[in-house]
A = this chain, B = another copy of it.
Amino acid sequence: MTKQKATNITWHEHTVSLADREALLKQKGVLLWFTGLSASGKSTVANEVTYRLHQEEKLTYVLDGDNIRHGLNKNLGFSPEDREENIRRISEVGKLFADAGVITTTAFISPYRKDRDNARKLLGDGRFIEIFVKASIDTCEQRDPKGLYKKAKNGEIKEFTGISAPYEEPLNPEIILDADTMTIDQEVRIVLDYLEEKKII
């Protein structure tokens, strides 16, 4: 018994570092933060980026409404405090994923500059890549796959970003995608080129 306890006490604790995981995965752990209006195409571009990366044997993960709102953040509503906490938790989880070495994407409207800047501070420069999917209200209204803009204009949805609630455009995003004029392929290419240029992949 004594001998075994001594083994525990004098044990040199091994850990696996981010650098170790990045070497294994042959990629850098980052958070690609897509922001933009509803129907701007954030999720579509984020998903396509992860799909192309996976084809190049890169490990990716998408944090989106489906896996966050019904899970980790299911106890949050839509009050200003809850919206802030929603983005804070997403930022913290994104930080853990980037720390795991995963090329992580988030696709949330995230309309407030302050919340996105907090995510940037949390991750640190080089790990946080803000991608502004810039679409005019006109473009989004014409797409409107779920009829949300129509409902917002009719007053059926309160505080709808771009109609009855503000969207604060990023001031210095790493990437701007012009969704009014670009195809999805073009948008994806810009993101992939950026990742190559920064030696993330």
**Complex interface bits, A101-136 against B, C-beta within 8 A gives 1, otherwise 0:** 110000000000000000000100000000000000
**In chain A, residues 39-82, which have Cβ atoms closer than 8 Å to a Cβ of chain B?**
41, 44, 47-48, 50-51, 54, 57, 59-63, 67, 71-72, 75
Give min CB distance, A34 to chain B, whole Å: 14
* A54:B13 contact, CB within 8 angstroms: no
**Complex interface bits, A138-154 against B, C-beta within 8 A gives 1, otherwise 0:** 01001101000000000
Report copies per complex.
2
* A54:B143 contact, CB within 8 angstroms: no
* B93:A72 contact, CB within 8 angstroms: yes
* B14:A47 contact, CB within 8 angstroms: yes
**Complex interface bits, A91-105 against B, C-beta within 8 A gives 1, otherwise 0:** 011011101111000
Q: Which residues of A contact B (CB under 8 A)?
A: 1, 4-5, 7-9, 11, 13-16, 20-21, 24-25, 41, 44, 47-48, 50-51, 54, 57, 59-63, 67, 71-72, 75, 85, 89, 92-93, 95-97, 99-102, 122, 139, 142-143, 145, 179-184
24 contacts between A and B (CB under 8 A): A5-B139, A8-B143, A8-B184, A9-B145, A11-B44, A11-B184, A14-B48, A14-B51, A15-B47, A15-B50, A15-B51, A15-B62, A16-B47, A16-B54, A16-B62, A21-B54, A21-B60, A61-B100, A67-B99, A71-B92, A71-B122, A96-B97, A97-B97, A102-B102
